[in-house]
Amino acid sequence: MEEEPKRKKIEAVALKLSHLKGKPSLVQRNSAILFQVQEELEKHDLCLNIVRSNICHLNACDETVTVRCPKLPKDSDARIGVRRDPQNPSKKQKLFGYNMVMTTSVELNLKLELPVAVTNIAGNAEE
């Protein structure tokens, strides 16, 4: 029997339970409704605050939730390039975007930090 590969876990939403000050906002009400805890939260004057979320679409009609992968690049039109790895020429290295390294000169007399040079190098998947 072939073993199924382990699926990576993605955080869908991070919530924080807080005391309610005034009336709950629309986002707080919708979060409570989504997790079906609105009555219990109202009893104790609590609310759910979203800390971070990877949910990009909710469909109330068929109760589906679309979650985006946080590890994917945000720029979907960008292309990923390939080059030879400088440390190991027999391997290829994926490139995504660019790294900008700015060299500055600190002038203590003038209390300034002045840019001297900018180096633009290819980015890689580990950065």
pLDDT, tens digit (0-9, with 9 covering 90-100), for 98-114: 677 888 888 888 888 88
Cα–Cα nearest to 103, from 121, 123, 122, 85: 121
Residue 75 — pLDDT band, cuts 50, 70, 90?
low
Beta bridge partners of 96: none
Per-residue pLDDT reduced to its tens digit, 33-48? 888 898 999 899 999 9
Q: At which residue do the structure tokens 């391997």 appear?
A: 91
Torsion of CA 64, 70, 71, 77, to 10 degrees: 80
pTM recorded for the entire structure: 0.47
